Amino acid sequence: MSSRRNFLKASGILTAAAVMQPSITFSQIPENGLLKIKPKALKSGDTVAITSPAGAVWDSNQIEIFATILKSFGFNVVYGKTLKEKFGYFAGSDELRANELNDFFADKNIKGIFCMKGGWGCARILDKLDYKLIKENPKVLIGFSDITALLLAITSKTNLITFHGPVGNSGWNEFTKSVFTNVTMAQKSFIFPENPFGEDKIVTITSGKASGELFGGNLTVLSSLIGSSYLPHWKNKILFLEEAKEEPYSIDRMLTQLKLSGVLDVISGFVFGKCAKCLAEEPLKAFTFHEVIMQHIQPLKIPAFYGAMIGHIENKLTVPLGIHATIDADKGIILLNESSVV
């Protein structure tokens, strides 16, 4: 009962905060000079598609469970061929996975595209996507983990707002559904509170507030794209990251890569969500995750915190890439200054 009371309290905070925030208008011309494109808000009765652009789906029961969740929002569901394909560890060949995504964007009847799972494989299809087609057919695309590659590439190439949020085989509890609804099905600014369930409290790295466009996702995936043409110009961006099952030395290595490539030097704010199971195998011979984060981020002297509800966790935020936001590092808050959909 206590967890339910906490959830209801959290929902009240979310709703009240969203209503209280003023409607703020920002420039629709981001740093890359392209017009910002927002997808249409999802609504009951819309047709949405499930695809697996990365790893193969080995448990078919998960597909039906996810379809039932989507139908609970009032959506009609279309199943992608990739959900049943197996090509090594991929859900079909690179061509099949890329073509399915292109086809779903081209289909005027489909209003949203949901990814079934992550794994590995999205980076292999980035050069096979039709970005002109995607730009001309904006719609909600949502996923996280390996889907980070698609989100970063599409938003960077087209300025279409994409969504770092739950996939089909991750948890869709009441809290996660509530945030998803507020971000993708409502035309309003919105505030993400700190974790209302009392777990893993926010840790402030550097105090203060910062504003900028949100960009980020899984640290491993993002760092693997350094040097490619599928990342944004990072100046004045708020970088958000998440990770799972990586030892502190690995986090250290990837943050060093972001530092050496110039990413960390130009961002306006920093948020790390959860680093699930990121423990050292030999803790007496290693730094902790906290120590690694402090070593890399504190010297930047920009507002920064970690512990946001982003990542491989049960209670998950849906975070839009490309939306202008403000963070409060002391309170552990992310405020979306504008609606993510139209």
Q: Report the half-sphere exposure of 277 (CA within 13 A, side-chain side).
A: 4
Per the CB < 8 A criterion, the answer to whether 250 and 282 are in contact is: no
Token pair recorded at residue 106 = 């081209």
**Structure tokens of 11?**
């929902």
Rounded Cα–Cα distance for residues 162 and 217 (Å):
11
| Beta-strand relationship, 324-328 and 238-244 | unpaired
Spatial separation of the C-alpha atoms in residues 112 and 48, rounded to whole Å: 5
- Listed in order, strand segments (DSSP E) in the chain are 47-51, 76-79, 110-115, 140-143, 162-164, 190-192, 203-206, 209-218, 238-244, 269-276, 304-306, 319-321, 324-328, 333-336
Pairing relationship of beta strands 190-192 and 324-328 according to DSSP bridges: unpaired
296 is catalytic: no
Mark whether 145 is an active-site residue.
Answer: yes
Measured at the CA of 37, the angle between CA 33 and CA 38, to 5 degrees, comes to: 150
- The DSSP string of 58-70 is --THHHHHHHHHH
Q: How far is CA 16 from CA 153, 172, 215, 221, in A?
A: 34, 22, 26, 35
**What angle do the packed helices 248-260 and 289-297 form, to 10 degrees?**
10
Whole-angstrom distance, CA of residue 309 vs CA of residue 297:
19
Give the active site residue among 242, 243, 247, 338. Answer: 242
The question of whether 199 is a catalytic residue gets the answer no
Catalytic residue among 194, 312, 324, 340: 312
Alpha carbons 325 and 214: distance in angstroms, whole number: 6
Q: Say how far apart CA 324 and CA 237 lie, in whole Å.
A: 9
Catalytically annotated residue among 145, 189, 268, 340: 145
Would you name the residues annotated as active-site residues? 145, 242, 312
